């Protein structure tokens, strides 16, 4: 009798938990973030040494087999420096135009906000994603350091991803290869814009390219950079290079496959670009 009662209670608890889990999506999205933030901080600390040790061992064991990558490393370095130069030139132009606007319109009552990237936050990669279908990192920086959701994350001058969950001490970065990742990009040579969508692998696909009703000037080897139009990444941050371009016959879209520049298996540190909106002129 007592055993039957105990079994009935456990079955009732199981049903309740199932219904509660299915109903949790009726809650506001923000409510679902709290348990994730708590677990990020709780598991981040013990997982960190395991991840760092494994990453070091993996790099050491794979070093003899990566002799052919030195040329690629040099090429990637050249690409990142070129992108850096383009980004700095773009930043100079933007600041000059901002200065000109200030000089011309400083007496207007309405203020135009400017996006200023400064006081970036460094983070150490301490873990990965528990879900095999997703691609994300856990980094050792959280809201205590000023990190918020939706901030861009870079490795050197190469885009990595965007912060998604933020705990007090650790944060999750959804990397560009994640199937849910979407950022606005631009082909550096032709200026054509599109949206980069993750595929779960080291290559991503550029989609939603506006139909120009003419041949798209895209070729394998073209550099893909951020366009800055999504308000997440600053413009001209290197993303990847085109590896495959197939124009579908009589259709406006094209299949554009992009090899991401960041080697996600070797990233140990990253930089979170802190976005500040300044209303001052």
CB 278 within 8 A of CB 227: no
Least CB distance to another protein at residue 123 (A): 16
Judged by CB under 8 A, the stretch of 18-26, 87-95, 115-123, 213-221 that binds another protein is 18-26
CB atoms within 10 A of CB 241: 18
Least CB distance to another protein at residue 165 (A): 7
User: What residues between 244 and 263 interact with another protein by CB under 8 A?
Assistant: none
| Residue the block writes with tokens 């773009």 | 90
CB atoms within 10 A of CB 50: 11
Residue 165 engages another protein in binding (rule: CB under 8 A): yes
Cα(196)–Cα(71) distance, integer angstroms: 26
Question: Measured from the CB atom, is 36 or 94 closer to another protein?
Answer: 36
User: What residues between 103 and 122 interact with another protein by CB under 8 A?
Assistant: none
| Residue the block writes with tokens 């319109």 | 105
| Residue 279: partners with Cβ closer than 8 Å, 6 or more residues away | 111, 113
Among 194, 198, 228, 240, binds another protein (CB under 8 A): 198
Please state the φ and ψ torsions of residue 142, each to the nearest 5 degrees.
-140, -155
Residue 138 engages another protein in binding (rule: CB under 8 A): yes
CB 144 within 8 A of CB 169: yes
Residue 159 engages another protein in binding (rule: CB under 8 A): no
Residues that bind another protein (CB under 8 A): 6-7, 10-11, 13-14, 17-18, 21-22, 24-25, 32, 35-36, 38-40, 42-43, 46-51, 53-55, 58, 126-134, 136, 138, 164-165, 172, 174, 178-180, 198-201, 265
């Amino acid at each position: 009798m007592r055993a039957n009662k105990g079994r009935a209670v456990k079955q009732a608890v199981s049903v309740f938990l199932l219904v509660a889990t299915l109903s949790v999506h009726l809650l506001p999205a923000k409510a679902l973030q709290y348990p994730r933030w708590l677990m990020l901080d709780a598991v981040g600390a013990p997982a960190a040494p395991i991840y760092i040790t494994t990453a070091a061992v993996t790099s050491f064991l794979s070093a003899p087999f990566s002799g052919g990558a030195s040329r690629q490393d040099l090429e990637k370095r050249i690409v990142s420096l070129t992108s850096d130069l383009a980004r700095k030139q773009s930043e100079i132009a933007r600041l000059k135009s901002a200065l000109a606007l200030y000089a011309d319109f400083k007496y207007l009552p309405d203020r135009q906000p400017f996006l200023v990237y400064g006081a970036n936050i460094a983070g150490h990669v301490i873990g990965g994603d528990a879900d095999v279908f997703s691609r994300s990192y856990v980094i050792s920086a959280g809201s205590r350091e000023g990190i918020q959701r939706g901030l861009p994350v870079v490795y050197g001058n190469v885009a990595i991803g965007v912060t998604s969950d933020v705990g007090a001490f650790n944060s999750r970065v959804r990397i560009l290869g994640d199937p849910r990742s979407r950022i606005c990009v631009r082909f550096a040579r032709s200026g054509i814009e599109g949206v980069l969508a993750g595929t779960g692998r080291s290559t991503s696909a550029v989609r939603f390219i506006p139909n120009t009703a003419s041949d798209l000037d895209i070729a394998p080897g073209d550099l893909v950079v951020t366009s800055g139009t999504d308000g997440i990444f600053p413009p001209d941050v290197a993303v990847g290079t085109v590896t495959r371009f197939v124009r579908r016959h009589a259709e406006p879209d094209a299949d554009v496959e992009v090899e991401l520049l960041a080697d996600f298996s070797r990233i140990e540190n990253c930089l979170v670009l802190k976005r500040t909106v300044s209303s001052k002129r």
